[in-house]
Amino acid sequence: MNIEGGIDSIMKRIGVLTSGGDSPGMNAAIRAVVRKAIYHGVEVYGIYQGYAGLISGDIRKMELGSVGDIIHRGGTILYTARCEEFKTLEGQKKGIEQLKKFGIEGLVVIGGDGSFAGAQKLTEHGFPTVGVPGTIDNDIPGTDFTIGFDTALNTVIDAIDKIRDTATSHDRTYVIEVMGRNAGDLALWSGLADGAETIVIPEADHDIDQIISRLQRGQERGKKHSIIVVAEGVGSGMDFGREISERTGAETRVTVLGHIQRGGSPTGFDRVLASRLGAKAVDLLLEGQAGVTVGIENNKLVHHDITEVLQRKHSIDLDMYRLSQELSI
């Protein structure tokens, strides 16, 4: 029976882990999983260090209080790790043995597409698993937003705002390399939000001659500075900056924002998203669903088959890319 006298769940005990790269809001998702499960009278076990802890049995019971005071904290209280052994059948079998040893009947995996590949394997071996998309890259199909993207976006915006002040004072061209792995979302959204002159993303071809003539047009009409946002998926910001500097003769500075983009207190948007997705994952497990990922599409909670999600290619909003070009003429 649930806390408020509702219907019994078929599962008595579930597990939760975070895996791959951390992202702000993962803690809010863990909290939602734990509280929603306990609300339904289901016990929750936290698995530490992702799949590495699953294999080694670093598994501990969580209570309501275990997730107190974490909703506003970046990182993940369960820690995360990358684990090559889990990519092997033997590693996966060891993980399932541990889950059985602890009497865990279903698992919530919070992470990116690598973590989802692990979750898919568990489901294939008959262990019910639900994936929650947590990554700053926003590169997971089946959801408009991943947990952590909005926070990272605001971190990048804050950094570019600061760089803009000094760019204006010194009359320079600034190249800023932002994270996102093979996805250009962080670069596109931050570039649009910051009025960057040029945004270079892996999903759209770029023409260096065009970029240079755009910079020169800006200089001619007296622009004090130029900001170019380059997604890491395109290549090195350093190389890009060197080429711009050589070809225009303009003083060019390169900033690689790096891991500051992964930390920090999650924004309100990410906390709410994480709370909704974490709770939805528990609902699905308790309804007997397995091998699915949760997401948000047009502000509605959705779920999709995990194999389909892994097969689909992430796409970017090319209308938004065109808009960024139109607005930065």
Write out the catalytic residue numbers: 137
The pairing of beta strand 13-18 with beta strand 106-111: parallel
Determine if 48 is a binding residue for ligand ADP (CB under 6 A). Answer: no
Two tokens, residue 95: 């993980």
Determine if 36 is a binding residue for ligand ADP (CB under 6 A). Answer: no
Residue in the structure block whose two tokens are 């006298």: 5
178: helix, strand or coil: strand
Determine if 86 is a binding residue for ligand ADP (CB under 6 A). Answer: yes
| CB-CB contact of 328 with 198 (8 Å) | yes
**One-letter amino acid of 118:** G
| CB-CB contact of 135 with 24 (8 Å) | no
Contact with ligand ADP (CB under 6 A) among 45, 48, 51, 127: 51
Q: Please report how close the Cβ of residue 51 comes to ligand ADP at its closest, in angstroms.
A: 4
User: At 225, which helix (H) or strand (E)?
Assistant: none
| Stretch in the footprint of ligand ADP (CB under 6 A) among 71-79, 109-117, 182-190, 289-297 | 109-117
Nearer to ligand ADP, 117 or 157 (CB): 117
Contact with ligand ADP (CB under 6 A) among 117, 157, 204, 212: 117
Phi, psi of 268 (to 5 degrees): -55, -40
Contact with ligand ADP (CB under 6 A) among 46, 53, 74, 118: 118
From residue 24, alpha-carbon distances to 117, 130, 151, 272, 298 in Å are: 21, 20, 7, 12, 22
Determine if 123 is a binding residue for ligand ADP (CB under 6 A). Answer: no
Determine if 19 is a binding residue for ligand ADP (CB under 6 A). Answer: yes
Contact with ligand ADP (CB under 6 A) among 15, 20, 25, 237: 20
Residues lying near ligand ADP in the complex (CB under 6 A): 19-21, 51, 82-83, 86-87, 111-115, 117-118, 121, 135
